[in-house]
């Protein structure tokens, strides 16, 4: 799977859509006015920007390692596209050694707007056109600072929709992407 869009934004995400997630959170959408205002403030802050760049760099490496680990541990499964292979991998252990970086990101964001650093799960289904179907689940590769004004279910749904669309449009044989809050994914 390819990393989707570039790290063009601040106050957002990392994952296989790594910086794409960052761009998604900053793209126009149906965010509430208060959330949109928070996003603009976070985007304009130079300290937030610096920490986002570090998080994206580390996340890219974490994602590549998690993807490699996942590919090595597939099992047969049923996907929404039919039979295939499934795998899952967790990036928490890799992020543990970079705790000061994501803590600096959270701290820089919190100085601008109150909120929380959340970790997300990305589930990606690839294949088709003669290629085998593979459903990969990547956990704890996606730290995202979300201001209090952006934590409503509607704002989160808008974010996930943008992430899903960015991921699928990133090219390759990506059939489907779904993002979840770590606590909401069904295992």
| Residue 13, in any domain of the structure | no
Q: In sequence order, which residues have a C-beta less than 8 Å from that of residue 140 and are 6 or more positions away?
A: 90, 91, 92, 95, 119, 121, 182
| Residue 9, in any domain of the structure | no
| Residue 3, in any domain of the structure | no
Q: Which tens digits make up the pLDDT trace of 33-70?
A: 999 999 899 999 999 999 999 999 998 899 899 989 99
Is a pLDDT exceeding 80 seen at residue 1? no
Q: Which tens digits make up the pLDDT trace of 72-88?
A: 989 999 999 999 999 99
| Residue 4, in any domain of the structure | no
Whole-prediction pTM:
0.76
Question: How many whole angstroms separate alpha carbon 20 and alpha carbon 26?
Answer: 10
| Residue 7, in any domain of the structure | no
| Residue 45, in any domain of the structure | yes
**Backbone φ and ψ of 94, nearest 5°:** -70, -35
Question: How many whole angstroms separate alpha carbon 69 and alpha carbon 47?
Answer: 33
Specify the number of domains making up the chain: 1
Half-sphere exposure of 97 (CA within 13 A, CB side): 7
């Amino acid at each position: 799977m390819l990393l989707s869009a570039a790290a063009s934004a601040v106050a957002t995400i990392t994952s296989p859509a790594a910086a794409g997630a960052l761009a998604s959170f900053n793209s126009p959408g149906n965010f509430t006015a208060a959330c949109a205002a928070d996003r603009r403030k976070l985007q304009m802050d130079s300290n937030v920007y610096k920490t986002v760049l570090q998080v994206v760099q580390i996340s890219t490496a974490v994602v590549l390692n998690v993807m490699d680990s996942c590919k090595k541990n597939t099992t047969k499964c049923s996907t929404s596209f039919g039979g295939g292979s499934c795998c899952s991998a967790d990036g928490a252990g890799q992020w543990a050694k970079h705790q000061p970086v994501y803590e600096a990101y959270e701290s820089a964001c919190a100085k601008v707007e109150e909120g929380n650093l959340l970790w997300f799960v990305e589930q990606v289904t690839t294949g088709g056109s003669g290629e085998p179907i593979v459903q990969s689940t990547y956990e704890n590769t996606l730290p995202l600072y979300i201001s209090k004004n952006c934590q409503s279910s509607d704002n989160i749904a808008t974010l996930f929709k943008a992430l899903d669309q960015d991921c699928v449009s990133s090219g390759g044989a990506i059939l489907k992407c779904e993002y979840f809050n770590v606590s909401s994914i069904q295992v």
